[in-house]
Each structure stands twice: as C-alpha cells, then as structure tokens.
Amino acid sequence: MTPRRVKLHELYREVEALGGATECAEDRAYNKAICDVLQTLRASGFGDGYYVDQREHENRQRRGAWRALEAAE
C-alpha cells in the first residue's frame, strides 16, 4: 500500500465509511472501535463540514484582517 496525501476531513469520511453491519461479536467490536475513533476526532473538531485545517484558518484570518484594513481606509 503506497501512502497518499489526504485532507483530514476526507480521512474522517473514510474512517466513518468503515463502519458496517453488526452480524457477530467481532463485527460489533470492530464497529465500536470505529465509533471510538470517530468520537475522538469529533472531540478534536473534526466532522463532515466542520473541520478547517490550520492553513485555511490562517488564510481566513489574513483575508479578514485585509478586509478590515480596506474598510478602515
């Protein structure tokens, strides 16, 4: 398996998609582990449509500061 770069919100969706049917005890344990990972990610601010990576956050701050400067002129 070759490593690939993926945005964190896409990784969240991929992990979320790993959950499946709960037919046996092994499946239930697997799904519980997936739910635990998703819960940890959500507690850190991840989720579909919610997470903004650091670079984007900084870009938004710069744009906001630029607009404030333009409005002050």
pLDDT in tens, 15-56: 878 876 667 888 888 888 888 888 887 777 776 565 566 677
CB count in 10 Å sphere of residue 12: 21
What residue numbers bound the domain in which 22 lies? 8-72
Residue 12: the pLDDT is 77
Alpha helix positions (H), the chain? 8-17, 25-43, 54-72
Domain tally, the chain? 1
d(CA 8, CA 14): 10
Kindly state whether residue 53 falls inside one of the protein's structural domains.
yes
Kindly state whether residue 1 falls inside one of the protein's structural domains.
no
Does the reported pTM lie above 0.75? no
The DSSP code for 24 is S
